[in-house]
A and B are shown apart, each in its own frame.
Chain A
């Protein structure tokens, strides 16, 4: 199987680099301070005949004024925050009651309760946003539809849409979470755009919402985005995609495995390994002979979960002769599971390898296959390093039994 060794056109997402923004903002603050010091230097009387000391005094005066201002702002914000929190706590029962009324359809028309909701939202925006979004997640069917209508009529949904364009990543993340709970189709555009967000956790949140929508085209879009995500977000998405594993395996994953693009193949194989579910992906078989080490290693690791993937003894033998350490270790990690006990002599040979990582992987492969006789032969064989590694693997095998 020939696979393009060059990196694909799909490059990993460049994580938002805030450095320039931070430096510009810092420079602005510091320039303002410098200007203030210069003004103070001109306005304040000379405290000493030493010019350096005078400059130091002016700087100190400016800093004292700045700190006092900062302290006042801190105090005001803290008091304001506490007041807002108290008000929110007071309003929460009323909001919950109103949302229950809306969800149960007790009001004749949506207009009036929606206006009341908008009024409460103006007084305690965060509490209403959170409670409405939680209610949307909890309510299914008609209740969900009525709550969504209230969110639209009250203008709260529009506020969420505006927040998606906020400068604050935290606000964008919240907005995506809220919009993701609206019924399918209500905010698809924003969610799809969110998938492209430079802030990885916002993109992850959008992916979660799209996956939860259950629409295969959006799930496919999330899958297509996988290669561009960081390892962390990929790990999250992988878990969220798990419940669509069968559909993905039959469609998107199989297509990715048949492509010649490593950037698509690698995440697809990672998904199979991470899910640990038996899935019909025969496309894994040919990748065992890939010329790309990263793909070949992953293909071997995914093999125990790939139904219909043809793997021959020759594939394993070729894998065990690979000069790529990653491939060798991957082959060793699955030989026992794939019942390749006939490869024992070759694996036992690898316990003598100069690379201790390979030797250890080989010894554990023998232990996992229950080939204690091979390990004992190595122990009495005389090579001290190999004997040590074999003893360790044998001990683990025996203690593993004891623990069971």
Chain B
């Protein structure tokens, strides 16, 4: 009944072959994206010199920007983050911190540190949000606004921030992230070049291991913890390869929630961030694309291949598991809500390339990968697959992943060179190798679990723990 020549055996063989083709296809696609990413990075000439930055600081020509940072139980890192945001170099920007009903001392700390007073600031936007309990501004000459509201989640906080914005552009920032001092100018550049730009994002880097002084990364180092090193490699792969290429092909679906910039008018037109999804960053970008295509308005979502933001990644398996689970649920929700765009030429390259890529490779990727492993083991046990073939399958799929990770690290060294020491480069290359021996498979399991949770109707973010940044000395 189960032999290789039976119907079951032949079906098994066909499915196994399909999985191998899938593995080859997904890895080749990553390779294509990485090659495109490499040539894009080579050509990227948006680097503004520091002297020119000084010149631009006095300009009244550039549009003002609001920086919105939701904060929930962030007392460990909020002081550094707000300082970092206030220090951003841009002719006109205001920092809006939204305290999302924190249960710890986030608000008290902000009140004391920045000498806040209760302000009469009026919201100009009308996106509905949880009740705002109070609005505060600093007694010092700082462009800082703190909104204290009832807990409603990140998307709700961002919407509250958007309501209080006074400038045409706003940046949505995680309050546990550190922003490079000239990041606003760099990430705003596509808006200055082209009026049709509606959203931009930049490279997010792993801050674990780096030295932080006064809210700024002063020394770039590879993370110390193995789990953080794996994520550093993952971030390189995602940002230097995938997003650069998708931006070039006008089909970017995701602007990182850690730091993204948006045209306020368009975000208000589409009703702000969706509070009912855990993937509000991706959902908003997809909705903005859809809105603009439906209204037949030309638009661009651009990825700026420059490091703009540093974020603390989880160093505990439990927290990382929750994060990946949430990311997968977020992607699933966003894609399901806008399924109308799937392979729909009405939505241009987004519908024909960006969206299908997410469905086939980001969403179904973990399912197929785990299915491949399971079938190989099952095939071995049932005698449907020869032992050498099974070993070959495992080796090939591991090597593919490994090679792509190595290429990402090389891409970093060839282009941006943020890690100055050779030791750090060796650490990252080592992590690129080890990442494929267990970590990759583990994330596939978490992502699959995320899909299952989504189908079972699970909601919520789960608890995140912060360790705080490593101070100088």
- A positions within 8 Å CB-CB of B: 15, 18-19, 21-23, 25-26, 29-30, 33, 47-53, 55-57, 59-60, 63-64, 67, 70-71, 74, 78, 169-170, 173, 199-201, 204, 230-232, 234-236, 238-240, 270, 273-274, 276, 356-357, 360, 385, 388-389, 391-392, 394-395, 403
Contacts and interface: CB of A to CB of B under 8 A. Distances in A.
B120 A395 contact: yes
Nearest to B188: A232
A230 B24 contact: no
B389 A235 contact: no
A230 B39 contact: no
Contact of B406 (A18, A67, A230): A67
Contacts of A48: 386, 388-389, 392
Given A23-B36, A238-B61, A357-B124, A59 B28 contact: yes
B111 interface: no
B226 interface: no
A392 B330 CA distance: 38
B56 interface: yes
Q: Which 7 pairs of residues, A with B, have the shortest CB-CB distance? A: A231-B192, A235-B59, A52-B20, A235-B61, A391-B120, A169-B45, A388-B122
Given A169-B45, A388-B122, 15 more contacts: A18-B40, A29-B35, A30-B32, A53-B393, A59-B400, A199-B45, A231-B193, A232-B62, A232-B193, A234-B61, A238-B59, A240-B55, A274-B60, A360-B124, A388-B120
A222 to B, nearest CB: 15
A231 B20 CA distance: 50
Nearest to A355: B124
Contact of B32 (A25, A26, A204): A26
Contacts of A30: 31-32, 35
B56 A232 contact: yes
Contacts of A49: 386, 389
B225 interface: no
B298 interface: no
B403 interface: yes
Contacts of A395: 119-120
A395 B400 CA distance: 63
A278 to B, nearest CB: 16
B7 interface: no
A322 B124 CA distance: 21
Nearest to A204: B52
A15 B193 contact: yes
Given A49-B389, A50-B389, A238-B61, A64 B141 contact: no
B24 A52 contact: yes
Interface stretch (B69-77, B173-181, B407-415): B407-415
Contacts of B121: 392
28 contacts: A18-B40, A19-B248, A22-B43, A26-B39, A33-B31, A52-B24, A57-B396, A59-B27, A63-B399, A64-B403, A67-B407, A67-B410, A169-B43, A230-B193, A231-B192, A232-B62, A235-B56, A235-B59, A235-B62, A238-B61, A239-B55, A240-B55, A274-B59, A274-B60, A356-B124, A388-B120, A389-B122, A391-B120
Nearest to B62: A235
A63 B189 CA distance: 36
Given A22-B39, A22-B40, A231-B61, A201 B119 contact: no
Nearest to A29: B35
Given A232-B56, A239-B55, A274-B59, A53 B392 contact: yes
Contacts of B386: 48-49
Contacts of A21: 39, 43
B360 interface: no
A201 B53 CA distance: 13
A397 B403 CA distance: 62
A70 B40 contact: no
A208 B223 CA distance: 42
